[in-house]
Amino acid sequence: MGEERSPGERDAIGLVVETRNGPGVLHQLTGVIARLGGNITWVAILDAGRPVETVFFEIGDVVDLDRMLEELRRLPVVMSVAEERTLDRVFGKRVIIVGGGAQVGQVAVGAVSEADRHNLRGERISVDTIPLIGETALAEAVRAVARLPRARAVVLAGALMGGEIEDAVRTVREKGLLVVSLNMAGSVPDAADLVVSDPIQAGVMAVMAIADTAKFRIDRLRKTRY
């Protein structure tokens, strides 16, 4: 059952649609949404390739949700439609921690502890980790963070990073992603927004920097290395 909303309210909503697999299905679904003025802000296809697929939409500017649900259900390919909370309201902003396993674990301790403090106040911040080694693998991971939905910050946790990883850091910063780095050998610390020596504190500060319920802001700091 969906959340109550006042007439004319245009907050983003989530829709889970179960469909029969086949060509042109997504086109049919998006056609209904577009015709009714919905602005699709994110879409994911789950169970791809199976006879029954699940498509999750996040849609803004929905004026008449009941009509949208009704018209989607009329499509022959649709088996069911249900309104759900958007992932932004369930998992919220994301902090991604990338690097060596031991350092990643310590950063996660600080990030999870700080996220818990803000989430108790009504915030939604989630923490993801991916232990990796190798310059190319790490650079690819950093670039991919900018493509992840709701990702707001990436923490680079390791002992030595530079080269391709530095280039990736500068690229994602240009796209608005916050980059926090441990104080390590290599050129990555020179490219990051914030450098922190203690891994637990790095996780704490990354969460504080993206939390709406915190007063901490990196652009107000007099120095960017701690």
Q: Per-residue pLDDT tens for 89-101?
A: 888 999 999 999 8
Domain for residue 32, yes or no? yes
Query: Do 61 and 132 share a domain, yes or no?
Result: no
Q: 3-17, 116-130, 135-149, 171-185: which range is least confident on average?
A: 3-17
Mean pLDDT of 78-92: 90
Query: Do 43 and 146 share a domain, yes or no?
Result: no
Work out the pLDDT band at 7, boundaries 50, 70, 90.
Answer: very low
What burial class does residue 147 get, using C-beta atoms within 10 Å of its C-beta: 0-12 exposed, 13-18 middle, 19+ buried? exposed
pLDDT of residue 49: 74
Q: Name the token pair of 209.
A: 């920097």
Is 49 or 41 the better-scoring residue by pLDDT?
Answer: 41
Query: Do 140 and 68 share a domain, yes or no?
Result: no
Query: Do 73 and 96 share a domain, yes or no?
Result: no
Domain for residue 6, yes or no? no
Instruction: State which of 86, 115, 141 marks the end of a domain.
Output: 86
Closest CA to 152 of 221, 197, 191, 209: 209
pLDDT of residue 79: 95
Query: Do 76 and 99 share a domain, yes or no?
Result: no
Report the share of the chain in percent with pLDDT over 90: 76
Domain ranges, residue 124: 91-220
Phi, psi of 171 (to 5 degrees): -65, -45
Is the pLDDT at 10 greater than 80, yes or no? no
pLDDT of residue 88: 84
Query: Do 55 and 159 share a domain, yes or no?
Result: no
Q: Are strands 78-84 and 13-20 parallel, antiparallel or unpaired?
A: antiparallel
Query: Do 127 and 207 share a domain, yes or no?
Result: yes
pLDDT of residue 9: 40
pLDDT of residue 3: 41
pLDDT of residue 91: 87
Mean pLDDT of 84-91: 87
Query: Do 132 and 176 share a domain, yes or no?
Result: yes
Query: Do 70 and 95 share a domain, yes or no?
Result: no
- Tens digits of residue pLDDT in 93-149: 999 999 998 999 999 999 999 999 999 998 999 999 999 999 999 999 999 999 998
